[in-house]
Amino acid sequence: MSDDEHGTGWSGGKNAFGDFAPGMVHYTDQVLFDEVWEREGLSKRERSLVTVAALTALGKMDQLKFHLAYARRNGVTDEELKEALLHLAFYAGWPNGMGATTVLKTIVEGGE
């Protein structure tokens, strides 16, 4: 049985890297999204909020673009995301909070 047959069908790593970085594709698609994101204990909504917080705190705006949009698909509202980013600005640094809010604004206004 191939990985695709028993996983969630996540292919973000494959879409991003194709055959260029097979290890990154494997760990992104089969381990991170097929295993970690599917674990019991936290909902996908909760995992999204935790991930948004971590990426904001680390200033990882490239990855945050995907995860803010993913959080919206996982049921986190725009108002909740705005409030979370405001709260994070005080703990993760104002520039990180401002950067994350700018990314969210772009997503919301672009309809992603």
pLDDT of residue 69: 97
Note the pLDDT tens digit of each residue in 51-93: 999 999 999 999 999 999 999 999 999 999 999 999 999 999 9
pTM of the model: 0.88
Note the pLDDT tens digit of each residue in 11-36: 889 999 999 999 999 999 999 999 99
pLDDT of residue 51: 98
Domains, the chain, with CATH or none: 8-38 (no CATH), 44-110 (1.20.1290.10)
* Contacts with 33 (C-beta within 8 Å, 6 or more apart), sequence order: 7, 8, 10, 12, 13
pLDDT of residue 1: 33
